[in-house]
């Protein structure tokens, strides 16, 4: 927003309460033409980069610092299994973007199908992660085994929690759509949750490479 | 509309920050989204394949990081629509990434992680 000492530069009818929609036809009633919710979610995602950056850095710092003789990353990682999990999460980004496309076209049946598919793929990823954790614990790696174990579980656990929250939000959207409470005018709600969902996907892209694939 | 100091506020045209929400920029079609996902799947398969090629062990880190950057960028640009949306969002996100990289590269360098 630019502040001047001159007269208000918005059209006369836009300066009054309740008529902001006439500021710029087709745009939200903000001075940037962007909705506050969308600006907020992007600022939130920017801050999440710092959170996950911290967790990944801590892992990289600690993974080689474990006591000799204790479990090390590549003693227990099952790359083919994690590759399938990564593929599942990647494909959930496709179904999410197809859900957004569906609501923007007013196709609510397709919206529900894609939302549910995305939630199922996300749920499969979380289930796969739980199974992976139980295998690791059975092999002797837990939170207190060594620095690798602590940093690995905290980092991937935080990511899994984000995916779980995403799945819950997707199921809420699906439920709203079934009840008819998600009209096409609210497509931005799907877009915002979609942005969050794609973010957890890109975080996994980084984790999969830096944690699992790079020795 | 006034600012907190009592001065008037000039509405910034959406064009100044790039295309605003719902602006004319077309998003990819559903079929294009499928092609993008296929590309991402192929890059993931290539990542896993490279991991098992012993002769590439010396270049593994560079190849894998490049592939991850490609996948990251494609998801952000096309699935998150950053390529088509307002430049303001791009600034928010890229600033976050640069801050995170800058901050954590310094931390990791402090602990000499690159020489291990």
Q: What is the pLDDT of residue A27?
A: 63
- Contact check, Cβ <8 Å, A57/B107: yes
* Min distance A83 CA to chain B CA atoms (Å): 7
Please tell me if residue B22 touches chain A, with a CB cutoff of 8 Å: yes
- Contact check, Cβ <8 Å, A49/B88: no
* Min distance A153 CA to chain B CA atoms (Å): 20
- Contact check, Cβ <8 Å, B44/A98: no
Tens-digit pLDDT profile for residues B3-61: 444 444 444 444 444 444 444 467 899 999 999 999 999 999 999 999 999 898 889 99
The pLDDT averaged over each successive group of 10 residues in chain A (215 residues) is 42 42 59 87 90 92 80 88 96 97 96 98 97 95 90 96 98 96 94 97 96 91
Cα dihedral across residues A117, A154, A133, B46: positive or negative: positive
CA distances to A61, A120, A192 from A125, in Å: 26, 9, 21
**Close Cβ partners of A49 (under 8 Å, ≥ 6 residues apart):** B93, B96, B97, B99, B100
Please tell me if residue B92 touches chain A, with a CB cutoff of 8 Å: yes
Q: What is the pLDDT of residue A126?
A: 98
- Contact check, Cβ <8 Å, B48/A43: no
CA distances to A104, A125, B87 from A144, in Å: 48, 25, 45
Q: What is the pLDDT of residue B20?
A: 46
Comparing CA positions, the residue from A180, A196, A166, A171 lying closest to residue A38 is A196
Beta-bridge partners for B9: A3
Tens-digit pLDDT profile for residues B76-95: 999 999 998 888 888 888 88
Q: What is the ipTM of this complex?
A: 0.83
Tens-digit pLDDT profile for residues A22-58: 455 556 678 878 889 999 999 899 889 889 999 999 9
Tens-digit pLDDT profile for residues B49-74: 999 998 988 899 999 999 999 999 99
For residue A11, the chain B residue with the least C-alpha distance is B11
- State the pTM of this model: 0.83
Query: Would you say residue B101 has pLDDT above 50?
Result: yes
Cβ atoms A119, A170 nearer than 8 A: yes
Which chain A residues are closer than 8 Å to B5 by Cβ?
3
Which chain A residues are closer than 8 Å to B30 by Cβ?
98, 101
Cβ atoms A122, A86 nearer than 8 A: no
Please tell me if residue B63 touches chain A, with a CB cutoff of 8 Å: no
- Contact check, Cβ <8 Å, B10/A2: yes
- Contact check, Cβ <8 Å, B68/A42: no
Tens-digit pLDDT profile for residues A133-142: 999 999 999 9
- Contact check, Cβ <8 Å, A32/B33: no
- Contact check, Cβ <8 Å, A202/B17: no
């Amino acid at each position: 927003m630019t502040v001047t000492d001159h007269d208000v530069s918005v059209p006369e009818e836009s300066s009054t309460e309740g008529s902001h929609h006439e500021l710029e036809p087709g745009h939200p009633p903000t001075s940037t033409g962007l909705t506050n919710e969308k600006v907020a979610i992007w600022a939130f995602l920017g801050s999440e980069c710092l959170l996950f950056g911290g967790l990944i850095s801590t892992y990289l710092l600690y993974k080689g610092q474990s006591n000799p003789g204790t479990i090390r990353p590549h003693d227990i990682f099952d790359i083919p299994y994690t590759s399938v999990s990564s593929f599942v999460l990647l494909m959930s980004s496709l179904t999410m973007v197809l859900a957004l496309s569906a609501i923007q076209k007013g196709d609510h049946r397709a919206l529900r199908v894609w939302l549910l598919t995305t939630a199922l793929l996300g749920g499969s990823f979380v289930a796969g992660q739980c199974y992976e954790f139980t295998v690791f614990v059975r092999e002797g790696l837990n939170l207190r085994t060594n620095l690798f174990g602590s940093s690995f579980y905290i980092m991937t656990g935080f990511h899994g929690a984000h995916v779980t929250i995403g799945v819950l939000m997707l199921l809420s959207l699906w439920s709203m759509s079934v009840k008819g409470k998600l009209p096409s005018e609210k497509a931005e709600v799907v877009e915002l949750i979609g942005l969050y969902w794609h973010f957890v996907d890109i975080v996994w892209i980084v984790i999969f490479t830096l944690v699992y694939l790079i020795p | 509309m006034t600012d907190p100091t009592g001065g008037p506020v000039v509405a910034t045209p959406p064009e100044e920050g790039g295309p605003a929400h719902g602006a004319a920029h077309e998003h990819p079609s559903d079929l294009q989204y499928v092609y993008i996902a296929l590309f991402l799947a192929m890059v993931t398969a290539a990542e896993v394949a490279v991991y098992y090629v012993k002769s590439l062990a010396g270049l593994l880190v560079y190849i894998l990081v490049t592939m991850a950057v490609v996948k990251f960028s494609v998801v952000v640009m096309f699935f998150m629509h950053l390529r088509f949306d307002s430049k303001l969002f791009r600034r928010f996100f890229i600033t976050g990434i640069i801050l995170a990289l800058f901050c954590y590269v310094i931390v990791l360098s402090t602990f000499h992680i690159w020489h291990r």
